[in-house]
Amino acid sequence: MSAARPSVTLSLYFAEFVDFFAVSLRRPIPHPIAMVKCGVRRQDHTIGGNARLRVVGFHHPFLCLKTGDNAAMSSMCDFNAILPAPFGALGVRHAHGKLIGLVFLPPETLPSSPRDAFSERVSEQLEAYYANPEHEFGVPLEPKGTPFRMRVWRALQSISCGNTTTYGAIARDLGSAPRAVGQAVGDNPLPIVIPCHRVIASDGSLGGFSHSRIGYTLEIKRWLLRHEGVAVQG
């Protein structure tokens, strides 16, 4: 993994900290800053609207703090495998014979071979999907969330390959608000397998992905949709 210069790293740390501190003044954050060491990408905007991505260790931990996602905070470096992917890397987590988490990691993340037979099975399933987007995943899943989130995630599983829906359409089906649906879609712990990338904005644009509207995570959504033969705007 490439390293940022000390001066750049320090400035990016403070940029994240100031943003986090502003949020912490508005609501209590129960978890300490403990996992800043994990390397993920920080996006900086350059003149003309282009973007430059740096590999530093501050963005994702502070994001977990800002959203109160303490489970993600405490476990984001605890993977059963880190698998290479066409768009970067995926952290795999499972427990009791069920897949409980897939986490997008930047391309610079070093792979970590599957530690066990279940992780190897997940790796084989993902490779099959990369080769054929219509591949149906055959591993037991155990996403954990509120009853509402579980309803949204079940709705996502009904979207077939090559098709998309909108946040508003799901909201109407569930008798909820698009914003609440968007939050639940972004909280999906098993992206790709539970295909949250197939939910787009009502104007046909990508919308967000994993609570981001910019950066490499949105490019992953673009890649996944194109891989499945979906024409992507923008």
pTM greater than 0.85: no
Question: What is the per-residue pLDDT across 168-211, written as a single tens digit (0 to 9) for each?
Answer: 999 999 999 999 999 999 999 999 999 999 999 999 999 989 88
Within the chain, all domains assigned CATH 1.10.10.10 are found at 147-227
For 147-227, the fitting CATH number among 1.10.8.50, 3.40.50.620, 3.10.450.50, 1.10.10.10 is 1.10.10.10
Query: Are the beta carbons of 16 and 62 closer than 8 angstroms?
Result: yes
Residue range 124-167, pLDDT digits in tens = 999 999 999 999 999 999 999 999 999 999 999 999 999 999 99
Measured between alpha carbons, how far is 217 from 83 in angstroms, rounded to an integer? 16
Confidence of residue 57 (pLDDT cuts 50, 70, 90): very low
Tell me the C-alpha distance between 50 and 141, whole Å: 38
pLDDT for res 78: 79
What is the SS3 assignment for 161?
coil
In the predicted structure, residue 54 carries a pLDDT above the cut 60:
no
For helices 178-186 and 147-157, give the axis angle rounded to 10 degrees.
Answer: 80
Q: Is residue 234 within 8 Å of 205, Cβ to Cβ? A: yes
pLDDT tens by residue, 113-126: 898 999 999 999 99
**196 part of the active site:** yes
Q: Tokens at residue 45, please?
A: 């905007």
DSSP, collapsed to helix, strand or coil, labels residue 55 as: strand
**Of 38, 64, 161, 196, which one is the catalytic site residue?**
196
